[in-house]
Amino acid sequence: MMTGLFENKRMTIQQSSYFWNMWAGLIFGFQSVFLLMVITRFLGLYDAGVFTIAYANANLFLAVGKYGMRNYQVTDVRGQFSYREYLVSRYITVFAMIVASVVYTLIAGAALHYSADKTLVIIFMCLLKAEDALEDVYLGWYQLKGRLDTASKIMTFRLASTLIVWIAGIILLKNLLYSLIVAMIYSGVFLFVLLKGTLPYFNIEKQPADLRKIRKLLVICFPLFLGGFLSFYIGNAPKYAIDAQLTDELQACYGFISMPVFVIGLLNSFIYQPILTQLAVLWKNEEYGSFLKEIFFECAAIAGITLFAIVSGYLLGVPVLSWMYHTDLSAYKTELIILLVGGGFLALSGFLLIVLTIVRMQKESVIGYLVTSVLALIASPVLVKRYEMLGASVLYTALMFVLSLIFAAMIAYRLKKTSIHEM
């Protein structure tokens, strides 16, 4: 079986990378969609709301675990850091993720009067996401070594089988917490088996990690971590405001209509994820014309996918989502369209952040996140309290637009400065 993860009988490695990366991204993006569909039918709207905020919190702390390191790792074509240095640094960040998520959840639970079950669901959701963070450093190394296809197969098989186990648990156990614990245990064991079977193929060096280089790596990637953390906060600011001021039932409805937003981001990641190393090589070789051409191509693709999503959402969004989640969402059509526009800006800001990483402006990118986070902190309680769901939708789209605008200005400045020096 493990040998089969490296074989591509009908496709080249690049073709297989696109194919399996697409499936991994689809499952990752749609797992919450399928889970919410099952939860609303077998457990109810309240549990769907608990799942929504738990999933948001888990993704927020996932940013701590991943530490923004994947994009830096896969573009480290000069070999600045070794496999073990990336691995040990990830052990450190995953540990920090677990501690921070538990402490935060206990404090927030006491302040907002969470039930014991809701508190435990959030904590175990964070533990499940910690497995995603640990897996990410191994798969990043596989990608750097030219085997994104193998990395994507591992991610696809783990996510798909875990989703099946989790859904079966919800249906059979009729309990969100118990089914989550079962899924977490299964996912961890399955990941261990897959990694143990594939790591030997990469002939990883045996020398110990250099602690000074680990510290240097953590310092270098800190702006990426901070940016990623603030990015998740910005994206979920409406959900936190709803959690504090509205009900779990409205939280569920917001989760339903905002789900297509993240799907847009994932669909776009299928396009640009496999070419990250290629973009890094173009920049390294000072092929600025080709580099800029690729950026424009990706931005056009993002615009096209977003436009398609908006038209589809306008025509079919409400009835499809109402059927999927077994809830009448006809009152939220305007909010859905506004959120789909925001989804386009989410995808654009994500891609522009990768470009900033390649040109090694990750420190400067934090400025964009800080400015947008302050805006979110000030505006979210006001808009959500006064306009409820509409306010949350407008807030989200405005925040994504501001972030994209700041990143685009930074890239334009970097390219202009580079072209001046080359003259």
Q: In 43-115, which residue ranges form alpha helices assigned H by DSSP?
A: 45-66, 69-74, 83-111
* Contact assessment for residue 93 and residue 67, using Cβ atoms and an 8 Å cutoff: yes
Among 26-35, 51-60, 183-192, 400-409, the range scoring the smallest mean pLDDT is 26-35
Does 358 have pLDDT greater than 90? Answer: no
User: Hey, where are the domains in the chain?
Assistant: 1-209, 238-423
Does 125 have pLDDT greater than 50? Answer: yes
Tell me the pLDDT tens digit for each residue of 184-221.
Answer: 999 999 999 998 888 877 777 777 888 999 999 999 88
Tell which residue, 159, 198, 196, has the closest CA to residue 6. Answer: 198
Q: How many whole angstroms from its chain centre is CA 40?
A: 24
When pLDDT is averaged across residues 327-333 and rounded to a whole number, the result is: 89
Question: Could you tell me where the beta strands, DSSP code E, fall in 275-317?
Answer: none
For residue 212, what are the contacts with CB-CB under 8 A and spacing of at least 6? none
pLDDT at 275: 66
pLDDT at 165: 97
**How far apart are alpha carbons 200 and 394 in whole angstroms?**
50
Tell me the pLDDT tens digit for each residue of 219-249.
Answer: 988 887 887 788 888 888 999 889 888 888 8
Tokens of 384: 């959500």
**How far apart are alpha carbons 259 and 242 in whole angstroms?**
16
Q: Residue 346: helix, strand or coil by DSSP?
A: helix
Does 6 have pLDDT greater than 70? Answer: no
pLDDT at 169: 96
Arithmetic mean of pLDDT over the chain: 86
When pLDDT is averaged across residues 118-129 and rounded to a whole number, the result is: 96
pLDDT at 423: 39
**How far apart are alpha carbons 302 and 268 in whole angstroms?**
6
When pLDDT is averaged across residues 346-353 and rounded to a whole number, the result is: 85
Tell me the pLDDT tens digit for each residue of 385-402.
Answer: 888 889 999 999 999 999
Tell me the pLDDT tens digit for each residue of 170-187.
Answer: 999 999 999 999 999 999
pLDDT at 206: 74
Does 1 have pLDDT greater than 60? Answer: no
pLDDT at 267: 65
* Contact assessment for residue 252 and residue 48, using Cβ atoms and an 8 Å cutoff: yes
19, 20, 22, 27 alpha-carbon torsion, rounded to 10°: 150
**How far apart are alpha carbons 51 and 34 in whole angstroms?**
12
Model confidence at 133, in pLDDT bands (50, 70, 90)? Answer: very high
Tokens of 266: 């994932």
